Each structure stands twice: as C-alpha cells, then as structure tokens.
C-alpha cells in the first residue's frame, strides 16, 4: 500500500498500518485532520494520527469534530497537555457518563493555565502587545531623532569653522579696503558680502583677488559681478573647488576672467603692433604684456611693454588707436636712443651738477 499524492508531509506522522485501519472513503479526510493538528506540534500530530482511526471507525463525525476541537483547545494552552489529552479522550468518550470527557478537558485546561493566572496573563499579554505596538511606532521616530542629532552636530562643527573664518575676514578686510580705489568700493563690498554669506573661507580668498582685479581694471563692475556669480555656482557644488576658484587657483576661474575682460586684447593685435613698431624704429622690436613685466626689463631697445587689454574707449577702433599711440611712443624712444643713454655720455654736465650740489 502507498500513501499517494494527497499525503504530502503527513507521512511523517502516519504509519502505514494507521492508514490501513481507516475506511478507504475516509482516508483523505483523515490525512487532512492529521495534517491540520500537526501544525500545532509534531508530537501532537503523531498522537492524533494514532487515535483517529479508532474514532473514525465509529462513523460519528460529530464525535471526531468534538475530539479535534478539545485536543486543539488544550494544545494551544500547552502542547504537552494536548498530547496527553489526545491519548486519553477516546477512552473517556466510551465511559457511561457522557460529560466525563468534557469535565476532564475543563480540569486539564484549568490545570494548564490556572483561573486567576489566566486573567493576569491575559492582562499582561495585552499590555505587552500594546507596548510592542508603541515601540514599533516609535522606531522611525527614534531613527529620525538620531539622524537629526548627527546633522545638528555636523552643523555645530560647520558653525564653529564659519565663525573662525568670519573673525579672520574681520581682521583682513579693513587693510584691503584701504587699498581699494573708491570707485570700485560699492561693487567690491556687494560681491564680498555675497561670498561671505555662502562661505567665509572663500570670501577671504575672494577679498584679495577681487581687489587686484578691480584695481587693475581687469574686469568692470558688471564683469566682477558675473565672475563672482559663476564662482558661487562652483562653490555650491564643491566648497574646496569653489575656494580655489576665488583665489584664481583653477583653470575655469581664469577662463571666466578672460571671457569677461572688456576692451581690445593685446594678444589679438600684437603682430600688427610689432610690424608697426619695427617700421617706425627701424629695428626688430617685440611686443610684450605688462602681465609679463615681472620677468622683463621694461625699458629696453628690444621690446615695448603694453597693457594686456585696452579699455579706454567704448569702441574697439578707438582702443586700437590708443594701442598704436602707445606703440609709436615706445618705438620713438627706441629709435632716438632714449634707452641707450648713459651718464658717461655727458661727463661735463655730471661734474657741474656734482660741484654745484655736493661740494
């Protein structure tokens, strides 16, 4: 004999001889009953599987239902008591006193839980369930509170750093303002205030840089505002990169500065001016920018030093004319020997001055 596909896991609890003792038309129902009761406890399923054939043989469905109900009720209170009740009930059902089995089950239920203890247990269980629900509801709030504590601690650290740089700015700004040309004061103060609000450390860098840009006429007021605006965009994305931008420590910052320069750029007409100077002076003359003046001798017969851009006039044509005038002046000095002059060439004059003023 085989169990067949309907048995499932019940084969763990039902021996072949048990199933053989069950009428064939009741075997499927028998297997379902055993499987249902075994969900409470494996040992309970084994005992019920052993006792059910005896009850099924009486062909009394109500008795079988009563048995399963009573065993289940006791097993939910204590599975070991349920196993013993499952073993004893079939014999008690055969007793002359029809209520004996019910009385037996009541006694075991009270013995398992206790009347007074049952009420107390119910109360404690209800309180525990309520507390667990409250704890579960509190978990997201506890997590959020921890996140807020972390964020506020980080904010406190940032605030301390900000205050430190604000103190440094307070000390550095007055000397810079003293060097600033009055006509640039309004735009300078407006832009430094914007940067200081975003990041005091960046404003320290910008205070020096913007002073040089405005005093050196490298940007106009509108150009300075645009340069700062683009730097604030960089600062918002990355603080360190933004600080580098404001100290002209990034390629992008320099590119923006070149883009915002107004007037006529020297490099765009340097070749034309070179040819012009060479033609006027009669010798090969180079054109150099004042940006390179740190590494150059300004007054020499080899080159003429000019500003990197000309913004004297609104129109490019007029700025080009200004460059030509400056170039012609430099070429004239070269042509007529201004830079070749030496005091050794006028010894009599030097002696006369020495006698008059130093004797």
For residue 10, pLDDT over 70 is answered with no
User: Average pLDDT of the chain?
Assistant: 83
Q: Which has more pLDDT, 351 or 324?
A: 324
pLDDT (tens digit per residue) in 257-301: 877 876 777 887 889 988 988 888 888 888 888 877 566 676 777
- What are 130's two structure tokens? 């309520």
pLDDT reported for residue 34: 86
For residue 1, pLDDT over 70 is answered with no
Q: Which has more pLDDT, 183 or 112?
A: 183
Residues 125, 119 contacting (CB under 8 angstroms): no
The pLDDT > 90 percentage for the chain reads: 16
pLDDT reported for residue 240: 92
pLDDT reported for residue 245: 93
Give the list of residues 6+ apart from residue 36 with CB closer than 8 angstroms, or none: 68
Residues 47, 83 contacting (CB under 8 angstroms): yes
Residues 235, 202 contacting (CB under 8 angstroms): yes
For residue 74, pLDDT over 50 is answered with yes
Query: DSSP string covering 216-280, please?
Result: TTSS-HHHHHHHHHHHHHHHHH-HHHHHHHHTT-SHHHHHHHHHH--SEEHHHHHHHHHHHHHHH
Report the residue count for the chain. 359
pLDDT reported for residue 3: 41
> How far apart, in whole angstroms, are the C-alpha atoms of residue 117 and residue 111?
10
pLDDT reported for residue 257: 84
Instruction: Name the least confident of 4-8, 228-232, 249-253, 302-306.
Output: 4-8
Give the list of residues 6+ apart from residue 350 with CB closer than 8 angstroms, or none: 343
> How far apart, in whole angstroms, are the C-alpha atoms of residue 124 and residue 86?
29
Q: What residues pair up with 286 in beta bridges, in sequence order?
A: 303
pLDDT reported for residue 295: 61
- What are 337's two structure tokens? 């020997």
CB atoms within 10 A of CB 256: 20
For residue 22, pLDDT over 70 is answered with yes
For residue 353, pLDDT over 70 is answered with yes
pTM over cut 0.75: no
Helix 27-38 and helix 61-77: axis angle, to 10°?
10
For residue 229, pLDDT over 90 is answered with yes
Mean pLDDT for the stretch of residues 40-54? 87
pLDDT (tens digit per residue) in 173-224: 899 999 999 999 999 999 999 999 899 889 899 999 999 888 877 788 888 9
Q: Which has more pLDDT, 84 or 357?
A: 84
For residue 5, pLDDT over 50 is answered with no
* Residue 114 zone, left/alpha/beta (φ > 0; ψ -120 to 50; rest): left
Mean pLDDT for the stretch of residues 336-346? 76
60, 112, 219, 261, 322 from 216: Cα distances, Å: 111, 97, 8, 12, 18
Torsion angles phi and psi, residue 10, rounded to 5: -65, -20
Q: Which has more pLDDT, 219 or 69?
A: 69
Whole-angstrom Cα Rg for the chain: 51
Q: Taking Cα atoms as reference points, which of 203, 135, 133 lies closest to residue 168?
A: 203
DSSP class of residue 288 equals E
pLDDT reported for residue 225: 92
Q: Which has more pLDDT, 165 or 176?
A: 176
């Amino acid at each position: 004999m085989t169990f067949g596909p309907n048995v499932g896991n019940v084969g763990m609890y039902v021996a072949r001889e048990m199933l053989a003792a069950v009428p064939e038309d009741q075997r499927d129902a028998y297997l379902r009953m055993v499987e249902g009761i075994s969900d409470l406890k494996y040992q309970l399923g084994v005992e019920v599987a052993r006792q059910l054939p005896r009850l099924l043989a009486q062909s009394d469905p109500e008795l079988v239902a009563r048995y399963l109900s009573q065993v289940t009720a006791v097993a939910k209170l204590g599975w070991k008591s349920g196993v013993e009740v499952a073993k004893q009930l079939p014999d008690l059902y055969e007793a002359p006193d029809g209520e004996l089995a019910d009385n037996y089950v009541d006694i075991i239920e009270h013995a398992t839980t206790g009347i007074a203890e049952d009420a107390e247990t119910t109360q404690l269980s209800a309180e525990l369930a309520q507390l667990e629900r409250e704890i579960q509801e509190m978990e997201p709030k506890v997590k959020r509170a921890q996140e807020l504590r972390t964020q506020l601690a980080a904010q406190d650290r940032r605030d301390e750093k900000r205050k430190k740089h604000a103190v440094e700015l307070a000390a550095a700004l007055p000397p810079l303002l003293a060097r600033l040309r009055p006509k640039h004061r309004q735009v300078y103060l407006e832009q430094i205030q914007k940067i200081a609000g975003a990041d005091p450390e960046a404003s320290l860098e910008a205070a020096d840089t913007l002073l040089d840009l405005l005093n050196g006429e490298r940007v106009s007021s509108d150009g300075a505002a645009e340069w700062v605006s683009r730097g604030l965009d960089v600062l918002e994305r990355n603080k360190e990169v933004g600080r580098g931008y404001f100290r002209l420590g990034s390629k992008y910052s320099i590119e923006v500065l070149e883009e915002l320069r107004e007037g006529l750029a020297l490099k765009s007409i340097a070749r034309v001016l070179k040819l012009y100077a060479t033609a006027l002076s009669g010798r090969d003359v180079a054109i150099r920018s004042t940006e390179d003046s740190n590494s150059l001798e300004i007054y020499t017969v080899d080159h003429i030093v000019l500003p990197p851009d000309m913004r004297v006039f609104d129109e490019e044509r007029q700025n080009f004319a200004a460059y030509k005038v400056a170039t012609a002046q430099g070429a004239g000095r070269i042509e007529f020997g201004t830079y070749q002059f030496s005091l050794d060439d006028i010894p009599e004059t030097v002696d006369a001055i020495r006698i008059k003023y130093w004797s």
